[in-house]
Amino acid sequence: MGALSVIWSPVAALSRVAEERRVLSGFAVTALYAALSLVATAVAFFGGLAEAQLGAGGAPVPPEVQDLLVPFSIVALLFAAVWPFVFWLLVSGLMHLVTRFFGGTGPFSATLAAVGVAGVPFVVYAALGLPLSGLQVVLGPESAAGAILGLLSSLLGLAALLWFAALVVVGVALARRVGYGESAGSCAISCAGCAGLILLVGVVLAVLVALVAGAAGSAGGP
């Protein structure tokens, strides 16, 4: 895939993608990341990794929580498949909007292409994280090796996010014809907006899970 050249030649690759408005390349990167995320989530749930992480200190998972694993796994799988596309559109839309206040003039298709191809670090992270998740399933998340693998996966995720942000700054600067400083400022504002939205969704999901768990516990009580 030509989009992978962003790894060793980011400026040239993103310049070409933005100039030629290769939205399909951005879509392909996002679709690949979604597919890998879907497989990794399936491994976590059906391999017993998620269930093991819910047990405190090796204790068995409570029955009311056990009953929630199947519906929650379905929601998690759907989220893993859909979220990469939502995130792509969200970041592209916010960056395109905010850079307008800094004099950005490039078309939205160029922004879409640049942000999509900038997601290559997430593909790299997902490709590396998949075998790590498999090893965690084999070794057990509560073992010392499993804990180290979990920490390594988290660090890889953070590195991928920072790498993505740097590529977005470069790509959007080229797509919108603004300076790197203006693009970085737009990225900071957009990241704050995305973080707020993710936090809100997380709080809503946590409340829903707590309500369902409480209802299940009441139904199973004497």
Give the tens place of pLDDT for each residue, 81-110: 999 999 999 999 999 998 988 888 889 999
Domain ranges of the chain: 9-217
Return all residues near 174 (Cβ < 8 A) that are at least 6 apart.
11, 14, 15, 18, 19, 114
Between the two ends of the chain, the Cα-to-Cα distance in Å is 60
pLDDT tens track for 38-71: 998 887 777 666 555 554 444 555 555 566 666 7
Q: For residue 9, is pLDDT > 70? A: yes
